[in-house]
A and B are shown apart, each in its own frame.
Chain A
Amino acid sequence: MGASLQINSLGKSYGPSQAVASVSLDIAAGEFVSLLGASGSGKTTTLMMIAGFTPPDAGEIVLDGQPITHLPPERRGIGVVFQNYALFPHMNVARNVGFPLKMRRVSAADTARRVTEALARVGLAGLGERLPAQLSGGQQQRVALARALVYEPGLLLMDEPLGALDRSLRETMKTEIRRLHRQLGITIVYVTHDQEEALTLSDRIALMDRGRIVQIGSATDLYERPVNAFVAGFIGESTMIGGKVVRDGEAGQALLPAAGGPPLPARPGALREGDTATFLLRPEKASLSAADAPGSGLRATVQDIVYVGEISRLTLRLDGGPELTIKQPNRADAYQARIGEAVKIDWAPDDAVLLAA
């Protein structure tokens, strides 16, 4: 079963540069949490501290109620999967997978049985005699997974495990990782710079920037309710417009763009009228109609259309105001605009967010 993990105010500096600045995380048993961020955001350093490879300067790590902050890595019993697989090149697959059992002095018969099981679990039954160099990248990563899981750790750490694989293989491995997580009920902390991996795999995502967690929450939280412009910009596409908060109707709010143009309706939030703010709208949230169609909406002109298959990406300029990007599905029942055409754009105020600038 999975182990719970608490991280309290973990910090690590290299000379004057702070790699991780006071990171706290509370991960429930069996949860899948991704640390998402650009390189240098501190996500890998955080993972290395959990694994025990990097000693923290400050803070505490608690695994299943036991403080492990100062335990050497070999006594933590945590499984680790590395980006470049880190298989032992001089050992065949079976000996690689059996290595953790050998270190735990498991009998030869038990080892053989558990290695066979572990290999079957990752879909590599019968390849025990191969050397790592004789396997494809995807197979090598499966061996690494089997090796990290063979001694049934409560916590599995994965450091960009799909980074070295090509695109189609990444999809297969993602499905595989999801299946293993469901089947084994293991807790997983997963480091990645790829937002799509994080969104599709995780129960919760911790978005990191400059050594701190900027926001932690479900994929929906981060996408629909980003706490600031950094999160909004990192996850998914968005149009962001700066301006001032104004009242809109009875209880609504809108943003009056600094660059001019009509007020843009948005979900009322913690900001007050007159505050400087950033208006955020995801491109798929807006809909387009003919300029003379009935109903609400703002008038705009189509500046550019890029066809990308399932959707087209349109750049619109609001009359007298800023530009917006929207995605329009390429379906016969969706309004198909032409460049230069005057149109009407509309969105539900609840789909637009006002962020503190």
Chain B
Amino acid sequence: MRLELGNIFIKDLQFGPETKVEKGILYVNKEELLKEVSGDEKVKSIDFDIVHPGDSARIIPVKDVIEPRVKVEGKGGIFPGFISKVDTVGSGRTNVLKGAAVVTTGKIVGFQEGIIDMSGEGAKYTPFSKTHNLVITCEVNDDVKQHEHEEAIRMIGLKAAAYLGKAGKDVQPDEVKTYETLPLLEQVKKYPNLPKVVYVYMLQSQGLLHDTYVYGVDAKKIIPTFIYPTEVFDGAILSGNCVSACDKNPTYVHLNHPIIEDLYDRDGKDINFLGCVITNENVYLADKERSSNCTAKLVEFLGADAAIISEEGFGNPDADLVMNCNKIEEKGIKTVLVTDEYAGRDGASQSLADSTPKGNAVVTAGNANELVVLKAMDKVIGHPEAANIIAGGYSGSLRPDGSIEAELQVITGCTSEVGFNYLSAKGF
């Protein structure tokens, strides 16, 4: 399966009379966009804002971040199972409005975190302070239940991103990147002397507000399966996850998956990247046993010499991570784990809720308990009252000057467990 990603670099985002991309500027017709995303009876109001890198602006609480993409050639359309039919995606050409993002905010539950600061200290911790963001604030009717609320906002975000993506359909991309994975036996033959690597892609699937979808299917109901990495770039996997701002994978991150991109970079150089095995993180312990058994079986069946395993979330998923590690290692296949940590303010406590001696190669994305001070912003978009709850509640405290002292875990994407973040350690 071969996919070309045509990146159109977006330098600015503005409202205008026509939705189009011109000279690197994405113009958005507000009325047309509203027409495109509205229609759900549960939704009371929808508002749009635009924020740019460097603005004194805070978005809170962030639900999802989505990159506008459009299918130009090849089967299917973007976000199969939701926006498009369920054709297998991942081949042909997809154009990307690189530098633009749709950010949805929604206070689905009262304790929701998720901050994007466009400037100041907080901006250093989130990758979404570097994108030009179209922010969608939507309010629902009072009688709407949490799961309906989540679904309504999820669909509005996906529709908006698909609508904006269409503006790039006939635009000549600034760069084209090609990614290819061959059917297994051919891929193995292509680089016969290089170690064969599989990516075990764990998806958050614990239940309400903790869901991920694969071609429209709730990931808690899948058994582990193989997926071509390029399918992910077309939105085959997307987020319905609203909790744990710092280490959930927004849809944007699935679309720009850094582990997959890095494995492709090294494919043919020092590894042979065979593809992805997707698996879930359920609540029921028997599901964990079944899924980790299937995952290990599939990784072995694919003939992997090594597997990279990433998790999404903390606590319960640590058990899945450890089971996957143990069972894959027991088959003589080396593993590298990717996670983040809840290691206390000083980073000195046990980082995960589970561990294994076989987990002897682990990459950390940072300590979510570390403290940060977020300065007051001129503009707060979304639901400013959420800031008061976060500030007054568990995660931080509101200072007299309006700044917030909080743990890193309130910042969207800051300890991304697939490495889509900035925290790192350097040795000198």
| Chain A bound to chain B | no
